[in-house]
Amino acid sequence: MAGVEPEAWTKEVEDARTALRTRFPDLHCLRCGADNFFFRLWPDESLVPGLASESDNRVVELICRRCGFQEKHVVRLLAAASD
């Protein structure tokens, strides 16, 4: 199974960020209300070699910088047109 090229990965990260901002323009932590997050897209090659090419499985993870609460969204659904 082929890996993901760095350029393609960067684009995926940017697309996921855009999808988050579009769906949740005023994003705050569900626990403490902070608006400052760590942002991670996974699985990536460091976690599961090979699986990063399975873009249908991609999950974007937000970690609140204040309280550490984790929130995850399946990117494929996040980016889909809302109904």
Closer Cβ to Zn ion, 30 or 80, answer by number: 30
CB 9 within 8 A of CB 64: no
Closer Cβ to Zn ion, 29 or 52, answer by number: 29
Stretch of 19-27, 42-50, 52-60, 62-70 contacting Zn ion, by CB under 5 A:
62-70
Please state the separation of Cα 8 from the chain's center in Å: 15
Q: Is 64 in the site for Zn ion (CB under 5 A)?
A: yes
Element (H, E) at 70: strand 70-74
Return the residue of 32, 48, 74, 77 that touches Zn ion, per CB under 5 A.
32
